[in-house]
Amino acid sequence: MTKKTDLQIFIDDFGMNVKNIKPGRIMFKAKDLDKQVQSARNIIEAKKLKLIVVNDADMASYNAFEVREGK
């Protein structure tokens, strides 16, 4: 059995359409951006995943945010 990465664990728990943009980085489109970003941060904190949420103005204009490996 292969051990899941933090990113795979997050994707399984978050349960939204995901777009892989680069290895170790994924992007989500969200209708309620603020709520989804906070939900992503809550999952990362609760599960102590080594991930960060990136939500800059450029991505916000597309109602999107990114989760990437880090910390």
What's the CA gap between 4 and 37, in Å, rounded? 22
Q: For 23, how many CA atoms within 13 A lie in the half-sphere containing its CB? A: 0
pLDDT at 47: 96
pLDDT at 33: 92
Q: Is the confidence at residue 1, as pLDDT, over 70?
A: no
Task: For residue range 13-68, list pLDDT tens digits in order.
Answer: 988 778 877 888 899 988 899 999 999 999 999 999 999 999 999 888 889 999 99
DSSP-derived 3-state class of residue 33: helix
pLDDT at 17: 76
Q: Say what the pTM is.
A: 0.85
pLDDT at 42: 97
User: Could you tell me the residue ranges of all domains in the chain?
Assistant: 6-69
